[in-house]
Amino acid sequence: MRQHIGAMGPPFTPSGRVRHADHTVTGPDGHGVVVRVHTPDGMTGARPCVYAIHGGGYVMGGYEMLDRLLDGWCAELEIVGVSVEYRLAPEHPYPAPLDDCYAGLAWVHANAATLGVDPDRIGIQGTSAGGGLAAALALLARDRGEIPIAFQVLECPMLDDRLHTPSSNLDRLQVWSRESNVYGWSAYLGSRYGTDDVPAAAAPARATDLAGLPPAIVCVGGADGFRDEDIAYATRLMQAGVPTELHVYPGAPHGAHIVPDAAAARQWVRDVEEWVARQVADRPATPGT
């Protein structure tokens, strides 16, 4: 199953306009964390960056799943893209995956000048468990105050371990069932699973304070088990004063945008790309400069 998810979606054909290089970052426990940097050819000056986190229910997947997305965004938007190969549960439960993601993000921020990145314009993106980690990373970065996050792209994010919403019981899921969800959360949380001892950094839906988070787009399918928790999180972001765009695609299952054949999936991809393009658009020059 771990190998299968990496093959999801149509075959990837590189644009030929983006360079790719892997780097190993030292994590807080000395573990080596691999990040892949995608840089468009001919890029000049400091550019915005998207730091992307792959999905897989916290238990599978790899950073190569993001090659297509980042190659396309980097080529079309002239930005830098970075993906991270975080450790997986159950061998490495929380907080190891989040620690790896933060270590990679901190490396990008610290090496922004070398990478051609504007350190004040780093956004984060994630799908499914990657969306949960992206939301957690936004919370962690806000609370630590070390790295400014410019925006967050949360695509069908896995946010709530409690599985108490009506949509968590949907029985028509084709990609990620309730049983899969229980396994993913129990593997990720370990002994914390099923208790009240689950921090917001592990399950962002448990966060009580969402103020001060970066602008967000939240996308989810209407037939996704994460639908209700994602709508609730987006609603709470709005209530906290966070500029937030929410899209719910009727009838779309979990991760529908990964294989964008249906009209709803194509719309999903278009909505996200247009939103990201607005976030990374060149700022007007400051008068007098």
Strands lying side by side in the sheet with 32-40: 18-26, 32-40, 80-85, 47-53, 117-127, 152-155, 216-221, 244-249
Percent of the chain with pLDDT over 70: 92
Residues 288 and 90: their CA atoms lie apart, in Å, by: 55
Q: Are 242 and 210 in contact (CB under 8 A)?
A: yes
Which of the given ranges, 3-12, 175-184, 258-267, has the highest pLDDT on average? Answer: 175-184
The mean per-residue pLDDT over the stretch 42-58 comes to 96
Residues 159 and 243: their CA atoms lie apart, in Å, by: 19
The mean per-residue pLDDT over the stretch 6-22 comes to 77
Catalytic residue among 54, 109, 247, 254: 254
Q: Three-state SS for 32? A: strand
Which letter does DSSP use for residue 10 in this model?
S
Q: Are 93 and 190 in contact (CB under 8 A)?
A: yes
Instruction: Give the CB-side neighbour count of residue 70, counting CA atoms within 13 A.
Output: 31
What does the radius of gyration of the chain's CA atoms come to, in whole angstroms? Answer: 18
User: Which residues, listed in sequence order, are joined to residue 49 by a DSSP beta bridge?
Assistant: 80, 122
The mean per-residue pLDDT over the stretch 53-75 comes to 97
Q: Are 79 and 49 in contact (CB under 8 A)?
A: yes
Catalytic residue among 71, 224, 228, 230: 224
Residues 12 and 65: their CA atoms lie apart, in Å, by: 9
The mean per-residue pLDDT over the stretch 237-256 comes to 95
Q: Is the pLDDT of residue 168 over 60?
A: yes
Residue 38 vs residue 4, higher pLDDT: 38
Mean pLDDT, rounded, of the chain: 92
Residues 56 and 97: their CA atoms lie apart, in Å, by: 12
Strands 80-85 and 47-53: parallel
Q: What's the angle, vertex CA 224, arms to CA 213 and CA 200, rounded to 5?
A: 35
pLDDT of residue 264: 84
Residues 112-140: pLDDT tens digits?
999 999 999 999 999 999 999 999 999 99
pLDDT confidence bin for 288, thresholds 50/70/90 = very low
Cβ-count burial 52-75 (b if 16+ within 10 Å, e if not): bbbbbbbbbbbbebbbbbbbbbbb
The mean per-residue pLDDT over the stretch 275-288 comes to 73
pLDDT of residue 283: 64
pLDDT of residue 1: 43
Q: Is the pLDDT of residue 232 over 90?
A: yes
pLDDT confidence bin for 249, thresholds 50/70/90 = very high
Q: Is the pLDDT of residue 192 over 80?
A: yes
pLDDT confidence bin for 4, thresholds 50/70/90 = very low
Cis amide prior to 90 (ω within 30 degrees): yes
Contacts of 243 (CB under 8 A, 6+ apart): 215, 216
Q: Is 257 known to be catalytic?
A: no
Q: Report the candidate in 253, 191, 197, 259 with the shortest Cα–Cα distance to residue 222.
A: 253
Q: Is 128 known to be catalytic?
A: yes
Residues 263-278: pLDDT tens digits?
888 999 999 999 999 9
CB atoms within 10 A of CB 244: 21
Catalytic residue among 128, 167, 168, 186: 128
pLDDT of residue 169: 85
SS3 percent helix, strand, coil of the chain, rounded to 5, is 40, 20, 40
- Domains recognised in the chain with CATH numbers: 20-280 (3.40.50.1820)
